[in-house]
Every structure is written in structure tokens, then in C-alpha cells.
């Protein structure tokens, strides 16, 4: 993998290894989101997919996630700019919008723990979706610190 490839390649030009390396391991995309039926506004909850390892903030069955979780979405260079619920801190969204990677991103810092130290990840803040009854999901709506 080329050093700092994200600075001179578009998302479409990246190979699979480069694409996967962009994931900072925050786990935010694996949280249950609720859409307000009246406004269309999307709200994040602290409720994590049953496949998300809440400590590592990584999928426990990444290769099979799409078949195991019906509403799991596979990001790609063609759809990333249309998925409006991606957090502003997401590397895929940042690059699609023409913003670079922040200094806490593991590719920049060289440290996979930097995303957790920066307070970007769900580590220590998320709970398993399966532990909460669906009628109580609204009680777990959260506000994320958004970094520019």
C-alpha cells in the first residue's frame, strides 16, 4: 500500500486494501439510527449492531456481515456520497467531500488507538442493540461530537 495514498488517489482509484484501510475503526456506522418520520432527520443511538465488538469497534464477522445483518450497507466509491447519515468524521465521507483525513485518523497518526483517544469511537459509549427493547430505542438517542 502506498504511503498517504488518500492524498493523491480518488476513492474510485483505490484498491481494496486502500479502501479498507480508510476505515478508522470508530464503529459509528454500526449504530442503530432512527429517522424522524415527519422531518426525515436521522438520529444516532448508542445501540450497536450485534456484530460490533464494543471494545475493538470492529465487526466480528466482517466478511459475512451483509448476509447476517439485513440492513447492513456496503459502502463503495459510488454510493458513499449519497449516504447522508455517515458521520462527518468518517474518512470515506471526508474524502468524498474533498476534506482530508484528520490527525487522529490511524493512517495519519500511525496508531490504531488514536481514534479512541480522540473520543471519536463508540468504545465505552455503545451498548448492544439486542439488550434494549425496540420500543425503548428512542431513549438511547445520542449527540456525537462532530469534528471538522
Strand residue runs (E) in the chain: 31-35, 42-48, 52-53, 58-59, 127-128
CA 88 to chain centre: 10
Query: What's the residue count for the chain?
Result: 148
Read off the C-alpha cell for 87. Answer: 458521520
Interatomic CA distance for residues 30 and 72, integer angstroms = 8
Beta bridge partners of 141: 45
Residue 148: predicted pLDDT: 31
Residue 143: predicted pLDDT: 80
Beta bridge partners of 59: 52
Residue 146: predicted pLDDT: 56
Beta bridge partners of 43: 34
Interatomic CA distance for residues 26 and 104, integer angstroms = 11
Point out the residues of the chain with pLDDT beneath 50: 147-148
Per-residue pLDDT tens digits for 85-108: 899 999 999 999 999 999 999 999
CA distances from 134 to 32, 129, 130, 138 (A): 11, 9, 9, 8
Amino acid at each position: 500500500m502506498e504511503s498517504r495514498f488518500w492524498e493523491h488517489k480518488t476513492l474510485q482509484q483505490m484498491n481494496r486494501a486502500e479502501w479498507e484501510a480508510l476505515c478508522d475503526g470508530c464503529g459509528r456506522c454500526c449504530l442503530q439510527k432512527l429517522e424522524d418520520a415527519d422531518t426525515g432527520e436521522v438520529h444516532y443511538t448508542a445501540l450497536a449492531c450485534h456484530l460490533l465488538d464494543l471494545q475493538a469497534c470492529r465487526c466480528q464477522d466482517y466478511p459475512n456481515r451483509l448476509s447476517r445483518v439485513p440492513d447492513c450497507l456496503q459502502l463503495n466509491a459510488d454510493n458513499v456520497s449519497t449516504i447522508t447519515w455517515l458521520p462527518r468524521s468518517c474518512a470515506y465521507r471526508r474524502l468524498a467531500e474533498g476534506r482530508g483525513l484528520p490527525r487522529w485518523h490511524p493512517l495519519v497518526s500511525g496508531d490504531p488507538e488514536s481514534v479512541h483517544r480522540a473520543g471519536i469511537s463508540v468504545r465505552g459509549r455503545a451498548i448492544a442493540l439486542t439488550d434494549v427493547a425496540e420500543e425503548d430505542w428512542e431513549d438511547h438517542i445520542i449527540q456525537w461530537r462532530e469534528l471538522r
